[in-house]
Amino acid sequence: MPGPAPRHTYLDHAASTPVLDEVVEVVARTMRDHGLGNPSSLHAPGRAARRVVEESRERVAQALGVSPSEVVFTSGGTEGDNLAVKGGYAARVAADPRRDRLVVSGIEHHAVLDAVEHLVATQGARVTWVEPDADGVVHPAVLDDALRADGGPGTVALASVMWANNEVGTVQPVAGLADVAHGHDVPLHSDAVQALGQVPLDLSRVDLGVVTGHKVGGPVGAGAVTVRRDLSPVPLVHGGGQERRLRAGTPDTAGIAGLAEAVCLAVERRAGHAAYLAGLRDALVTGALALDLGITVTGPWEPGDTTRRLAGNAHLRVPDCEGDSLLYLLDAAGVACSTSSACTAGVPRPSHVLLAIGVPEEEARGALRLTLGRGSTAADVAAFLAALPEAVGRARRAHAAGRAG
Dump pLDDT digits (tens) for 11-49. 999 999 999 999 999 999 999 999 888 999 999 999 999
pLDDT confidence band for 127 (50 / 70 / 90): very high
CA distance 306 to 271: 9
Is the C-alpha dihedral spanning 289, 132, 83, 120 positive or negative?
negative
Q: Strand, coil or helix: what is 120?
A: helix
User: Over the stretch 179-195, which tens digit does the pLDDT of each residue have?
Assistant: 999 999 999 999 999 99
* pLDDT tops 90 at residue 4: no
| % of the chain beyond a pLDDT of 70 | 96
CA distance 266 to 269: 5
Taking the mean position of all CA atoms in its chain, how far away is CA 384? Answer: 24
Which listed residue (264, 321, 337, 343) is catalytic? 343
CA distance 87 to 110: 17
Q: Strand, coil or helix: what is 352?
A: helix
- Is the pTM for the entire model greater than 0.75? yes
Task: Tell me whether domains 22-268 and 270-404 share a fold.
Answer: no
Amino acid letter, 104: V
Q: Which residues contact 77 (CB under 8 A, 6 or more apart)?
A: 109, 111, 191, 193, 210, 211, 212, 215, 223
Helix (H) or strand (E) holding 212: strand 208-212
Instruction: Output the pLDDT for position 283.
Output: 98
Q: Is 343 a catalytic residue?
A: yes
Instruction: Output the pLDDT for position 198.
Output: 97
How many other β-carbons are positioned within 10 Å of the β-carbon of residue 21?
A: 9
Is the C-alpha dihedral spanning 351, 354, 359, 363 positive or negative?
negative
Q: Strand, coil or helix: what is 164?
A: strand
Its CATH class, for the domain covering 22-268, is alpha beta
Q: Measure Cα distances from 259 to 35, 62, 80, 215, 216 in Å.
A: 17, 13, 14, 10, 9
- Into which CATH architecture does domain 270-404 fall? Alpha-Beta Complex (3.90)
Q: Strand, coil or helix: what is 252?
A: coil
Q: What is the pLDDT averaged over residues 247-274? A: 97
* pLDDT tops 50 at residue 219: yes
Residue 183, sorted as left (phi over 0), alpha (psi -120 to 50) or beta, turns out to be: alpha
CA distance 116 to 129: 11
Instruction: Output the pLDDT for position 342.
Output: 46
CA distance 380 to 157: 45
| % of the chain beyond a pLDDT of 90 | 92
Instruction: Output the pLDDT for position 2.
Output: 52
Helix (H) or strand (E) holding 211: strand 208-212
Q: Measure Cα distances from 151 to 1, 100, 127 in Å.
A: 69, 10, 12
User: Over the stretch 287-325, which tens digit does the pLDDT of each residue have?
Assistant: 999 999 999 999 999 999 999 999 999 999 999 999 999
For residue 212, give the nearest of 54, 373, 371, 60 by alpha carbon: 60
Lowest mean pLDDT among 59-68, 290-299, 316-325, 396-405: 396-405
User: Over the stretch 316-354, which tens digit does the pLDDT of each residue have?
Assistant: 999 999 999 999 999 999 999 998 744 554 556 789 999
* pLDDT tops 70 at residue 5: no
Instruction: Output the pLDDT for position 340.
Output: 72
129 forms beta bridges with 104
DSSP string of 51-76, one letter each residue = HHHHHHHHHHHHHHTS-GGGEEEESS
Helix (H) or strand (E) holding 317: strand 313-317
CA distance 359 to 355: 5
Q: What is the pLDDT averaged over residues 157-170? A: 98
| Domain residue limits, the chain | 22-268, 270-404
